[in-house]
Amino acid sequence: MTKRTRTVLITGASTGIGECAAHRLDRMGWRVFAGVRREEDGLRVAANASHRLRWVLLDVTDPVSITGAIEFIGREISPGGLDGLVNNAGIAVGSPLEFVDLNALRRQFEVNVFGLVAVTQAALPLLRTAKGRIVNIGSVSGRVAAPMVGPYSASKHAVEAISDVLRMELGPAGIETSLIEPGSVRTPIWEKGAHSFEEAQTTFPAEAFTRYQMHFNLMEKVVRRGQKHGIDPERVVDKILHALTSKRPRHRYLLGRDARIRLVLQSVLPRRWMDGLVQRMIRKHGTPAT
């Protein structure tokens, strides 16, 4: 009997973790459906892959786009099902909450939270057929919040809860759900986030800079460090593969030295001490060199 080719849908597959995962799974013989928002990105991703990889236009904030993508995948894999769904699409909005643009905040949740749920809902009939697995890409920021990235942290907090609930609700149907919680990863999200943050600053009133200038300075340093010293996205893909293929996938995969340090500190220090440590870091690293 011919072994059935395993199938997976990866959202946000045009760059970073999603692109790396698409190419690794393709090399391993999976039939990969790479969700991208632009045709040129799909063509580029497919150019470096085998004939099995198919790119699909998929905007996780657009119900029509989601329906079209899932219907296309369903026709392609009929009568089989979907063995894996990797919810990777995400954006990062940085701003002090006092001055965050509410439309930007809504966009943060539309992509990272509502889009994740919408794609999962649409894909579940195919996942049920194959007793497939769901892998959500979260962040240590979903467990340890920090100033200036409140919108992003809040969205990843939501992904934590959603992943737990999906695991409990779908587990009896044979559908495992895992959450990946990396720290800093060297992906284009840093560059995109920095650009978005710079644009947002042009809309802030003068008092925003009076109150948060040290935060802004520290944010720039954090972005530069993340771009340079974040872990390789292939390490995240290693965890995605374990979640998709292990007989007993973990509920959570924490990775990255910075992620472990942040989580340990939050676990052992009283909340007031942790807040004080954060404020000392802002004063130390947010003050311009003289």
Per-residue tokens: 132: 């497939």
- Residue 162's pLDDT is 98
Q: Is residue 83 exposed (0-12), middle (13-18) or buried (19+ Cβ within 10 Å)?
A: buried
pTM: 0.92
pLDDT per residue as tens digits for the range 238-268:
999 999 999 999 999 999 999 999 999 999 9
Strands (E), the chain: 7-10, 31-36, 54-57, 84-87, 133-137, 176-182, 252-255
Segments making up each domain of the chain, as ranges: 7-285
pLDDT per residue as tens digits for the range 57-90:
999 999 999 999 999 999 999 999 999 999 999 9
What residue ranges of the chain have pLDDT lower than 50? 1, 290
d(CA 121, CA 29): 26
Cβ neighbors of 265 (< 8 A, separation 6 or more) are 274, 277
Q: Provide CATH code, domain 7-285.
A: 3.40.50.720
Give the relative orientation of helices 39-47 and 16-27 as an angle to the nearest 10 degrees.
40
From the list 152, 197, 204, 212, the catalytic residue is 152
Q: ∠ CA 68-74-75 to the nearest 5 degrees?
A: 95
- Residue 196's pLDDT is 65
- Residue 290's pLDDT is 45
- Residue 6's pLDDT is 97
Token pair 């991208």 in the structure block, residue:
36
Token pair 């998929």 in the structure block, residue:
58
Cis ω for the linkage preceding 233 (within 30 of 0): no
- Residue 1's pLDDT is 45
Catalytic residue at 212?
Answer: no
- Residue 190's pLDDT is 63
